[in-house]
Amino acid sequence: MAGASGFLGTALAERLRAAGHDITRLVRREPQRPGEAFWQPSTGQLDPVRVAGTDAVINLAGAGVADKRWTAAYRNLIRSSRVDSAGTLARVISQLPAADRPRVLLQGSAVGWYGDTGDQEVTEEAPAGTGFLADVCRVWEAAARPAEDAGTRVVLLRTGMPLDASGGLLKPQLLPFRLGIGGRLGGGRQWVPWMSLADWLDAIEVLLERSDLAGPVNVVGPEPVTNAAFTAAFGRVLHRPTIMQVPGVALRVALGGLADEALRSQRVLPGVLRRAGFTWQHPTVDSALQAALTPAPATAR
Sequence-separated (6 or more) residues with CB below 8 Å from residue 262: 185, 251, 255
In the chain, what are the helix, strand and coil shares in percent, each to the nearest 5?
Answer: 40, 20, 40
Q: Check residue 263 and give its pLDDT.
A: 82
Burial class (CB in 10 A: 0-12, 13-18, 19+), 209: exposed
Q: Would the pLDDT of 190 be above 80?
A: yes
Q: Which residues pair with 191 in a beta bridge?
A: 226
- Whole-number Å distance between alpha carbons of 136 and 42: 16
Domain count, the chain: 1
How does pLDDT run across 138-183, given as a tens digit for each residue? 999 999 999 999 999 999 999 999 999 988 888 888 888 898 888 8
Q: Is residue 232 part of a domain?
A: no
**Mean of the pLDDT values across residues 266-284?**
98
Q: Supply the pLDDT for residue 300.
A: 41
Instruction: Note whether residue 93 is domain-resident.
Output: yes
Mean pLDDT of the chain: 92
59-73, 103-117, 217-231, 272-286: least confident range: 59-73
- What per-residue confidence (pLDDT) applies to 250? 60
pTM: 0.93
Compute the C-alpha angle 161/1/36, nearest 5°: 135
Is 244 part of a structural domain of the chain? no
User: 85: domain range?
Assistant: 7-168+192-223+266-282
Would 186 be classed as within a structural domain?
no
pLDDT of residue 295: 64
Indicate if the pLDDT at residue 299 is higher than 50: no
What is the distance between the alpha carbons of residues 92 and 104, in angstroms, rounded to a whole number? 13
Mean pLDDT of 216-233: 96
For residue 182, the model assigns a pLDDT of 86
Domain contains 43:
yes
Q: What is the pLDDT of residues 241-252, one digit of tens each?
A: 988 887 766 666
DSSP state of 19: T
Residue 135 has pLDDT above 60, yes or no: yes
Percent of the chain with pLDDT over 90: 79
In a domain, 296, yes or no: no
- Spell out the residues 6+ positions from residue 223 whose beta carbon is closer than 8 angstroms to its own: 283, 284, 285
**Domain membership flag for residue 130:** yes
Strands 56-59 and 104-110: parallel
Domain CATH number, residue 214 = 3.40.50.720
Look at residue 2 and tell me if it is in a domain. no
DSSP letters, 95-147, are HS-GGGS-SEEEEEEEGGGG---TT-EE-TTSPP-SSHHHHHHHHHHHHTHHH
- Residue 245's pLDDT is 83
